Amino acid sequence: MTRDTEQRKRDHLKLAQEENLKFSISAGFDQWRFVHNALPEIDLKDIDTSVEFLGKTLAFPLLISSMSGGVQESYQLNANLAEAAEQVGCALGLGSIRAALENDDLKESFLVAREKAPKTVLLVNLGIAQMIQSRSYDKVISLCNELAADALIIHLNPLQEAFQPGGDTDFRGGLVALERWVNEFPLPIIVKEVGQGLSVEVISRLKDIGVTTIDIAGAGGSNWVSIERERLEDDQRILRQVAREFADWGEPTAEVLENLKTSQYVIASGGLKQPMDLAKSLALGANLGGIAGAILKPALIDDVSALVEILETWKKTLEMVLFGTGISDVGGLIGNRKVLTKR
């Protein structure tokens, strides 16, 4: 991994914490509220928040979305996230493994995740630009095996790459390469965006090539165009100005869910800022919710207890939503829009 790549990853961890680099538009969950059921006809102690995902049981339907890996800071970050995920029983996604593919010495920042979370669902992540090049196919399989990964995420990030200094901008052949990996890779393939979102039309194209699990990763949280804008040098003033025009470019997560009709397994991430957003995403049709920004700071300051408390709060909120809507388990909430009304 080059020094530029290593610095980029450090920049990303720092800039992702900046509130002014998030979308000013909402992910859309604030447009919805739950209909209160004063006669739930259930006992709170019988509420079941568990779900099955990739052959394993999660205590509740939450994924800690991919953040980082491959630099010194990432080792403790991934260790903290993995330890918290194992304690509360949620899934964990790792940041892009590109660094580890380029330099074996950097694998430890990824391997620590499985060490700290031997039982949880663990997802490995790689950009579609690296997949198109496919020079590391065997190394990807090998690293996935070392991690005992449950699935491989391929992330789509054309605009982020377009505004990133030295970014990979040749996305020709992406769909064909993706279809080949879906058919040949030994693990399930999940396809996600990085914050600009998957539109309904793109999700349909992914379904046509056999992608059975998608992560919307929609607009409403961190805006990676804005983050890359901050990394542009003074001699790229025009590109910096252009990036400002894209400060709110993307598909809001809740809007995609509202308009989506698919048999695919749907992960809703991007702008889930508070625990109630997870419950709303499920009622709108998601099978799983994903969060990153909401837990990044405590993960970076090595506060596992704070991480666990945050995640337990999300789980408990879901339990209370089920009770307050008269639903005994998560399966009864998924896609149940009758319990929602627009404000």
Domains in the chain, ordered, with CATH?
Answer: 3-342 (3.20.20.70)
Residue 6 pLDDT class (50, 70, 90 cuts):
low
Does residue 311 register a pLDDT over 50? Answer: yes
- pLDDT value, residue 1: 43
Question: Lowest-pLDDT range, 34-43, 149-158, 268-277, 289-298?
Answer: 289-298
Read off the pLDDT of each residue in 91-120 and give the average, rounded to a whole number.
92
Residue 146 pLDDT class (50, 70, 90 cuts):
very high
Does residue 9 register a pLDDT over 80? Answer: no
Question: Lowest-pLDDT range, 31-45, 253-267, 285-299?
Answer: 285-299
- pLDDT value, residue 15: 67
Which residues have C-beta within 8 Å of that of residue 219, sequence separation ≥ 6? 23, 25, 27, 195, 196, 197, 248, 249, 250, 251, 252, 253, 270, 271
Does residue 298 register a pLDDT over 90? Answer: no
- pLDDT value, residue 301: 87
Alpha-carbon span 329 to 83, nearest angstrom: 26
pTM: 0.95
Does residue 283 register a pLDDT over 50? Answer: yes
Read off the pLDDT of each residue in 242-262 and give the average, rounded to a whole number.
96
- pLDDT value, residue 133: 79
Read off the pLDDT of each residue in 23-46 and give the average, rounded to a whole number.
97
